[in-house]
């Protein structure tokens, strides 16, 4: 039977003091269950978003972002800081070029090839090659078009190299800057899944320009149809690389803004291709009937020149 | 640090010597030691003939070094003599002579002519600096001025090609002369690229050699294009 004392409220001492009084008492310890931080992306998994995984490479994106944070730790005034942007081997550069020329539908170029290791080697030297290829091909093409004419005197047109260099480098650096600024601004308003760093955008633009190098060489062929087919083909290839990169970044935004952004990216790309074709390559002349030449047997022959 | 001062001192002397060739104090040019930047007013112990005239400028020792480097470029072997004792006299002379020889083509048209003197100069020196920076950023172990020295000296086959082209163009400007010029320029372009690659390739990391060689190829290709498209007035 309980005594009155047992029913009174008692204050229990600290566990340590109680144990000291009675060392043999059984003890039970209860721990808080540890919260394992879930993968952020999984919260937003919806059935229609499986393609996000492929596009984003979510399985190792967290790890690579961590690694990226550890990589660029040198201050920006040291030479080592800039060396981190040239940390690529030959096979990596060739892989990235191959990825820009043969875009796999549904695969994001940045996540698949760049993987938080953007390099400046590709963009810089692809742009340099493109500048000289366009200037040299334009000069050659004009030479072949005007070859037979008596009034034509060949000029190397060296001024056009500086114009080509200004145009292409401005496109490859200022347009990514504008796009990056725009994406940062929208990112502050709408929570995007994907946000790219400035160097990754420069990288994508630089490598997407690679297809224009063989296109510029083939533009020497003085046929209008051939040239426009080449323009459309190269625009499709490099445009698809850009679209597949930037569509996931703007998809969550207002529908009209997303479509407008991607349309502007494609429009500027097309403008570059068409502008280069129009400025550096003279139009191949249409078939003009030449003067009538009397042939040996007395009949007249009309020759066509093109 | 001492090495850096020494080489910066050398470079400043060379740069100054290039621009103020005549009026320069022979004391400054003859002084081979590292602190001549700070010893301008003082007397120089190791320079023999302190009171001599500007002939001190072209010491026989330096001329022999330059000449030896020209021979090394003609027969490129993997020797380190070109790399060790770098100098920028040879590249300067080659660059100026190439730029001078590229003048005189289509001189009347201001717009669409050949490259101007300044353009050739800028392309060669700016191109060499960019290639050197590129190879250093990719992890190369060669020093800045050594690389500039090699790239400059390897322009020599192309300068010879320019000379041959001008001589061929004196004879005529038809298809045959074009084919001769094409063959000569093509051969010299290959020689330049191979010579500079032979000297520079060893100092690069093994899995990035192609990344370093390609800009050198582009550089000499552009110079070859300027030489091949030269049309006299």
Evaluate the CA torsion angle A119, A122, A125, A131 in order and state its sign.
negative
- DSSP at A111: I
Higher pLDDT residue, A5 or A199? Answer: A199
Distance from CA of A235 to the nearest CA of B (A): 25
Q: Between residues 153 and 172 of chain A, which touch chain B (CB distance below 8 Å)? A: 153-159
Q: Enumerate residues 6+ apart whose C-beta is below 8 A from B16.
A: B24, B28
Contact yes or no for B106 and A159 at CB 8 A:
no
Q: Enumerate residues 6+ apart whose C-beta is below 8 A from B53.
A: B26
CA–CA distance from A106 to each of A50, A57, A98, A245, A270 (Å)? 11, 11, 16, 10, 22
Q: What is the pLDDT of residues A13-47, one digit of tens each?
A: 555 565 555 655 565 655 544 444 444 443 344 44
Cβ pair A262, A250 in contact under 8 A: yes
Inter-axis angle of helices A224-250 and A90-101, nearest 10: 110
Q: Of the given ranges (A66-80, A123-137, B217-231), which has the lowest mean pLDDT?
A: A66-80
Confidence of residue A9 (pLDDT cuts 50, 70, 90): low
Residue A16's pLDDT is 54
Beta pairing class for A300-301 and A293-294: antiparallel
Confidence of residue A229 (pLDDT cuts 50, 70, 90): very high
Closest residue of B to A82, CA-based?
B137
Nearest to B114 among A86, A91, A156 (CB): A156
Give the whole-angstrom CA distance, residue A191 versus residue A181: 15
- DSSP at A39: P
Q: What is the pLDDT of residues A155-178, one digit of tens each?
A: 888 888 888 999 999 999 999 999
Highest mean pLDDT among A59-63, A285-289, B82-86: B82-86
Beta bridge partners of A288: A305
CB pairs under 8 A, 24+ apart, for B168-173?
B169/B230, B169/B232, B173/B231, B173/B232
Closest residue of A to B140, CA-based?
A83
Cβ pair A273, A288 in contact under 8 A: no
CB pairs under 8 A, 24+ apart, for A286-289?
none
Closest residue of B to A136, CA-based?
B225
Percent of chain B surpassing pLDDT 90: 28
- As given in the structure block, the two tokens for residue B26 are 């022979």
* A69: Cα separation from own chain's centroid: 20
Phi, psi of B60 (to 5 degrees): -60, -30
Give the whole-angstrom CA distance, residue A230 versus residue B215: 27
Torsional class of A106: left (φ above 0), alpha (ψ -120 to 50), beta (otherwise): left
Q: Which residues of B touch A128 (CB under 8 A)?
A: 215, 218
Residue B86, pLDDT > 70, answer yes
Higher pLDDT residue, B51 or B127? Answer: B127
Q: Where are the domains of chain A?
A: 79-98+111-282
Cβ pair A289, A304 in contact under 8 A: yes
Q: Of the given ranges (B35-44, B190-199, B200-209), which has the lowest mean pLDDT?
A: B35-44
Q: Which helix (H) or strand (E) holds B119?
A: helix B117-137
Give the whole-angstrom CA distance, residue A27 versus residue A30: 10
Contact yes or no for A90 and B210 at CB 8 A:
yes
Helix, strand or coil, per DSSP, at residue A293: strand
Phi, psi of A133 (to 5 degrees): -65, -45
Residues of B with CB under 8 A from a CB of A: 105-106, 109, 111-115, 119, 134, 136-139, 207-211, 214-215, 218, 221-222, 225-226, 229-231
Q: What is the pLDDT of residues B160-179, one digit of tens each?
A: 999 999 999 888 878 889 99
Q: Enumerate residues 6+ apart whose C-beta is below 8 A from B2.
A: B34
Confidence of residue A79 (pLDDT cuts 50, 70, 90): confident
The mean pLDDT value of chain A amounts to 76
Degrees, nearest 5: CA angle A217-A220-A222: 150
Q: Which residues of B touch A158 (CB under 8 A)?
A: 112-115, 119, 226
Q: Which residues of B touch A82 (CB under 8 A)?
A: 137
Contact yes or no for A82 and B137 at CB 8 A:
yes
The strand ranges marked E within chain B are none
**CA-based Rg of chain B, rounded to a whole angstrom?**
19
A152 touches chain B (CB under 8 A): no
Higher pLDDT residue, A68 or B202? Answer: B202
How many inter-chain contacts (A to B, CB under 8 Å) are there?
66
Q: Which residues of A touch B226 (CB under 8 A)?
A: 156, 158
Q: What is the pLDDT of residues B5-49, one digit of tens each?
A: 455 545 444 444 444 444 444 444 444 443 333 333 344 444 555
Confidence of residue A152 (pLDDT cuts 50, 70, 90): confident
Closest alpha carbon to A107 in A57, A180, A46: A57
Q: Enumerate residues 6+ apart whose C-beta is below 8 A from A199.
A: A85, A118, A120
Higher pLDDT residue, A195 or A128? Answer: A128
Percent of chain A surpassing pLDDT 90: 29
Cβ pair A92, B205 in contact under 8 A: no
Residue B231's pLDDT is 81
Degrees, nearest 5: CA angle A280-A286-A292: 135
Average pLDDT over residues B105-120: 67
């Amino acid at each position: 039977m309980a005594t009155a004392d047992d029913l009174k409220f008692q204050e229990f001492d600290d566990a340590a003091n109680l144990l000291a009084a009675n060392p043999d008492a059984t003890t039970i310890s209860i721990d808080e269950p540890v919260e394992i931080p879930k993968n952020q992306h999984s919260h937003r998994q919806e059935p229609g978003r499986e393609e996000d995984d492929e596009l984003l490479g979510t399985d190792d994106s967290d790890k690579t972002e961590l690694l990226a944070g550890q990589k660029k730790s040198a201050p920006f005034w040291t030479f080592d800081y800039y060396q981190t942007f040239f940390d690529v081997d030959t096979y990596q550069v060739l892989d990235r070029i191959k990825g820009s020329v043969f875009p796999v539908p549904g695969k994001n170029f940045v996540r698949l090839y760049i993987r938080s290791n953007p390099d400046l080697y590709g963009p810089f030297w692809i742009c340099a090659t493109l500048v000289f290829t366009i200037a040299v091909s334009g000069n050659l093409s004009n030479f072949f078009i005007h070859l037979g004419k008596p009034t034509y005197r060949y000029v190397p047109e060296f001024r056009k190299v500086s114009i080509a260099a200004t145009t292409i480098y401005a496109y490859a650096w200022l347009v990514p800057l504008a796009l990056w600024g725009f994406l940062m601004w929208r990112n502050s308003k709408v929570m995007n899944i994907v946000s790219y760093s400035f160097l990754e955008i420069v990288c994508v633009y630089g490598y997407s320009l690679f297809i224009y190098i063989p296109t510029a060489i083939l533009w020497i062929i003085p046929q209008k149809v051939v040239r426009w087919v080449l323009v459309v083909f190269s625009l499709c290839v490099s445009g698809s690389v850009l679209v597949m990169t930037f569509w996931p970044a703007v998809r969550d935004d207002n529908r009209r803004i997303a479509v407008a952004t991607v349309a502007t990216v494609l429009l500027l790309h097309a403008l570059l291709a068409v502008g280069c074709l129009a400025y550096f390559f003279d139009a191949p002349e249409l078939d003009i009937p030449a003067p009538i030449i009397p042939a040996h047997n007395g009949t007249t022959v009309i020759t066509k020149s093109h | 640090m001492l090495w850096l001062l020494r080489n910066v001192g050398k470079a400043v002397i060379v740069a100054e010597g290039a621009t103020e060739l005549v009026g320069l104090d022979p004391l400054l040019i003859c002084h081979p030691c590292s602190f001549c930047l700070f010893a301008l007013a003082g007397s120089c112990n190791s320079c023999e003939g302190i009171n001599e005239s500007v002939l001190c400028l072209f010491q026989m020792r330096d001329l022999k070094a330059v000449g030896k480097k020209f021979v090394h470029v003609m027969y490129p072997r993997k020797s380190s003599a070109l790399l060790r004792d770098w100098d920028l006299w040879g590249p300067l002379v080659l660059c100026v002579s190439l730029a001078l020889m590229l003048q005189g083509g289509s001189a009347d048209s201001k717009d669409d002519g050949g490259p101007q003197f300044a353009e050739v100069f800028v392309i060669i020196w700016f191109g060499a600096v960019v290639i050197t920076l590129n190879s250093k950023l990719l992890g190369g172990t060669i020093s800045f001025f050594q690389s500039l020295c090699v790239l400059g000296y390897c322009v020599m086959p192309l300068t010879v090609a320019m000379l041959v082209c001008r001589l061929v163009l004196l004879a005529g400007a038809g298809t045959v002369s074009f084919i001769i010029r094409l063959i000569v320029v093509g051969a010299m372009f290959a020689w330049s690229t191979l010579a500079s690659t032979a000297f520079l390739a060893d100092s690069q990391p093994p899995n990035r050699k192609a990344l370093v060689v390609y800009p050198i190829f582009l550089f000499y290709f552009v110079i070859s294009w300027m030489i091949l498209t030269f049309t006299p007035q």
